[in-house]
Structure 1
Amino acid sequence: MLSELMNFLKACWRPSSSERYVHTGSDAAGRQDGLLWYKDIGQHMNGDFSMAVVQANNLLEDQSQVESGSLSSQESGPYGTFVGIYDGHGGPETSRYINDHLFPHLKRFTSEQQSMSVDVIRKAFQATEEGFLSLVTKQWPMKPQIAAVGSCCLVGVICGGTLYIANLGDSRAVLGRLVKATGEVLSVQLSAEHNASIESVRQELHSLHPDDPQIVVLKHNVWRVKGIIQVSRSIGDVYLKRAEFNREPLYAKFRLRDTFRRPILSAEPSIHVHQLQPHDQFIIFASDGLWEHFSNQEAVDIIQNHPRNGSARRLVKAALQEAAKKREMRYSDLKKIDRGVRRHFHDDITVIVVFLDTNLVSRASSVRGPTVSVRGGGVNLRANSLAPCATPTELGAIQERKEGSGLILLCTL
């Protein structure tokens, strides 16, 4: 049965030789190996970092970045490290928008307040949400489906020995902490998740919408907000926040039957502040594509038991091996499956591992360090080329809503 499915899927997507992808040269800006992009090691103000992204969708919906240096629009600082992982759904537009605008907003608000704070981060999230809403409003007449595109948003900021973690959705940040008495490195989850599969999230939704008994619905054994989407907080998903976008010309299958008075989803991040300690070894930032295969401790163990170089790529590869095992296939066969078709086997997966050097972390935020700006890569389509399988925002025929179940696949044959 599996072999027949594989043959059908391969027939659906046969890229030309000009669309095959190989390694690039230097690792300075990362390397490409098929659908895997990676940067094995780099330096930020507070230590080393490693990044990796594997693409599953036709258009990469995960976006990510590491920024190190000034966290303000003024060169006088403060200085530190910014990490962002943006896991899109319904299309790549929102995650790309966040990748372009969230960090500049953060720098602007840091400059205004002349320091890093929870308030600065919250304002940066709010400005990004409002900016994307303005974009949707402008594009609505020509491209109404953009109202149904959204993204999770996980951010980490290290500044002056303090770690700020802000999150919308179900990406996750996990700290690896050394226990000196035993030599073990234990996992500590730093981010709060907003997924309807979590009972406290369902309770929160019921308390916010007491007049709506259908605010969360169990559908195909998965809890979903309004029976549509698993995450309860995001950037974008405007049609679930503004009733004026829950109408034609948005496709009927995406619209809610009933109108609503208050936003169904929220863009208010959960923010956690942690004072970094000498026994804090590293932080794993990852989209939920990783966490569906590993527990927090399993991921920490993989990082701890191997060299720093290539840490993120090692985690992504381990996740792909698990995905292959679950489908009773070989990892080598999974690697041969192209984007779009690959989404039947695993999600886009983004991992950033940030290692912490105690001496660098403890220095003042006024001390200037190396300037770094790296964005996670993916496979780029050639100009004027069509993706072989339709994406939700292009044809409106399917919409992936973090359901964890199989997708309907439309192919251009």
Structure 2
Amino acid sequence: MFSWLARTASACWGPVRRYARMSKDEDDDDPLLWSRDIERHSAGEFSIAVVQANESMEDHSQVETGPIATFLGVYDGHGGPDASRYISDHLFLHLIRLTRENGAISEEVVRNAFSATEDGFLAHVRRTREIKPLLAAIGSCCLVGVIWKETLYIANLGDSRAVIGCLGRSNNIIAQQLTSDHNASMEEVRQELRSLHPDDSHIVVMKHGVWRIKGIIQVSRSIGDAYLKRPEFTVDSSVPRFRLSEPLRRPVLTAEPSIYTRVLCQQDKFVVFASDGLWEHLTNQEAVEIVYNYPRAGIARRLVRAALDVASRKREMRYADLKKVEKGIRRFFHDDITVIVIFIDHELLFSPNSSVPDLSVRGFVDRVGASDFSLLDVVSANGNSTA
């Protein structure tokens, strides 16, 4: 298998088209790697980096900053980019709307923002199914973090992961995973699925050495994947990849997020949010040690580079050679990878930082503009800015 991959990659080690408007430094000219080295948010600084592997970029991501709160999202699509792009365009806006209606951010507000996004995407699938029927088979993992005053809210669907770096008693950095991986490779996920579907002996199936739900998909929670949630979205059975062994009787996937709330303390130094492409190659502890031991500027890019170095060594390649492999073929070596590192400066947690701009950063597409966080000014003015 590897010899075939090596021959295929070697054939593509010619000049690679460079993306416009993509950040690059002198010693790192990977044409598929994009980053913003350091920016400010309401409680510190953040760094973001993305590398593409698929023919179409399926990871979408965003950071939204304002003087009273910070929002970030990592959306790891599968089957295509449609669902992850939709989440990037809509979930944050739903959060803002619901926060204004409720007067504060809360777990319920975050959960309802996920629900509204899921409902909106399924409605989009329904409207467009005649012209794009396979949209019913496209979905996305969804990892969201919100810092609202001194509280961190995290909501997750799928196997992207948030890991916090905490300072230990000996000033060593300790990794603590804040999210659960909703992936059939996890025994607890398989047990959960079997308990929810006791009459379905094929709810999880080992296929080609990998546990999959209905023999098709690994993640058990997502936005989209409509054909695995509602019978009305059945995909043409002539497409083997999405063929169900029997008609869908009830949903086998869910869009109900796991939500975690943490009041940030002095020992909490930063949080790494990343799609599973990073965690495939780095452990939680390896990631936080890299963040802790290197300068903030460019730290997300450094994490991506560390993962790519590991991916290269697994294929007995050099990273210099991997950089020459084109998108699409590069998926044989690593997945799309998105990393956001959010640093927590505790002196900023308890007071609005008026010098922080309302900034919206979209990963990889390199779109930067004003954020809609300004819409929450009325909430802050009313004194309802605590959860």
Fold shared per TM-score above 0.5: yes
CA distance in 1, matches of 2:10, 2:119: 41
- Offset of 1:8 from its aligned partner? 3.2
Gaps of 5+ in 1: 71-78, 381-413
Which position in structure 2 is the counterpart of 1:59? Answer: 56
2:66 to 65, 69, 76: 69
* SS of match in other structure, 1:194: coil
CA distance in 2, matches of 1:336, 1:26: 15
Which position in structure 1 is the counterpart of 2:375? Answer: none
Contact 2:204–2:215, Cα closer than 8 Å, also in 1: yes
- Offset of 1:248 from its aligned partner? 2.9
Which position in structure 2 is the counterpart of 1:398? Answer: none
Which position in structure 2 is the counterpart of 1:130? Answer: 119
Contact 2:38–2:45, Cα closer than 8 Å, also in 1: yes
- Offset of 1:10 from its aligned partner? 5.2
Which position in structure 1 is the counterpart of 2:331? Answer: 343
Q: How does 1:255-266 map to 2 (within 5 A)?
A: 255-266=243-254
Contact 1:173–1:189, Cα closer than 8 Å, also in 2: yes
Q: How does 1:3-402 map to 2 (within 5 A)?
A: 5-9=5-9, 11=11, 19-21=17-19, 24=22, 33-69=30-66, 79-179=68-168, 181-248=169-236, 251-363=239-351, 369-377=356-364
Contact 1:160–1:362, Cα closer than 8 Å, also in 2: yes
- Offset of 1:371 from its aligned partner? 1.3
* SS of match in other structure, 1:196: coil
Contact 1:22–1:34, Cα closer than 8 Å, also in 2: no
Contact 1:40–1:50, Cα closer than 8 Å, also in 2: yes
Question: Which moved further from structure 2: 270-279 or 246-255?
Answer: 246-255
- Structure 1 residues 368, 39: closer, same or farther in 2, change over 3 A? closer
| TM-superposition CA deviations, 1:129-187 (whole Å, max 9, x none) | 000001111111111111110000000000010000100000000000012x3011101
Question: Which moved further from structure 2: 368-377 or 99-108?
Answer: 368-377
| TM-superposition CA deviations, 1:203-258 (whole Å, max 9, x none) | 11111111111101111221111111110000000010011212437734412131
- Structure 1 residues 168, 24: closer, same or farther in 2, change over 3 A? closer
- Structure 1 residues 379, 91: closer, same or farther in 2, change over 3 A? farther
* SS of match in other structure, 1:278: coil
CA distance in 2, matches of 1:379, 1:81: 19
Gaps of 5+ in 2: 368-387
Task: Give the TM-score normalised by structure 2.
Answer: 0.89
Contact 1:55–1:378, Cα closer than 8 Å, also in 2: no
Q: Which amino acid aligns with 1:129?
A: E
Q: Which amino acid aligns with 2:8?
A: F
- Offset of 1:33 from its aligned partner? 4.8
- Offset of 1:372 from its aligned partner? 1.6
Contact 1:45–1:69, Cα closer than 8 Å, also in 2: yes
Q: Which amino acid aligns with 2:212?
A: R
* SS of match in other structure, 2:70: strand
Contact 2:133–2:235, Cα closer than 8 Å, also in 1: no
- Structure 1 residues 172, 128: closer, same or farther in 2, change over 3 A? same
Q: Which amino acid aligns with 1:289?
A: G
Contact 1:23–1:33, Cα closer than 8 Å, also in 2: no
Question: Which moved further from structure 2: 251-260 or 318-327?
Answer: 251-260
* SS of match in other structure, 2:124: helix
Q: Which amino acid aligns with 1:245?
A: F
CA distance in 1, matches of 2:241, 2:349: 50
* SS of match in other structure, 1:256: coil
- Structure 1 residues 244, 12: closer, same or farther in 2, change over 3 A? farther
- Offset of 1:370 from its aligned partner? 2.6
* SS of match in other structure, 1:64: strand
Task: Give the TM-score normalised by structure 1.
Answer: 0.83
Contact 1:54–1:350, Cα closer than 8 Å, also in 2: yes
CA distance in 1, matches of 2:35, 2:322: 18
* SS of match in other structure, 1:318: helix
Structure 1 residue ranges (4+ consecutive) displaced by more than 6 angstroms after TM superposition: 12-15
Q: Which amino acid aligns with 1:374?
A: V
Contact 2:22–2:366, Cα closer than 8 Å, also in 1: no
Question: Which moved further from structure 2: 188-197 or 81-90?
Answer: 188-197
- Structure 1 residues 254, 326: closer, same or farther in 2, change over 3 A? same
CA distance in 1, matches of 2:91, 2:238: 27
* SS of match in other structure, 1:165: strand
* SS of match in other structure, 2:242: coil
Contact 1:290–1:349, Cα closer than 8 Å, also in 2: yes
* SS of match in other structure, 1:84: strand
Identity %: 58
Q: What is the root-mean-square deviation in Å for CA atoms of aligned residues?
A: 2.4
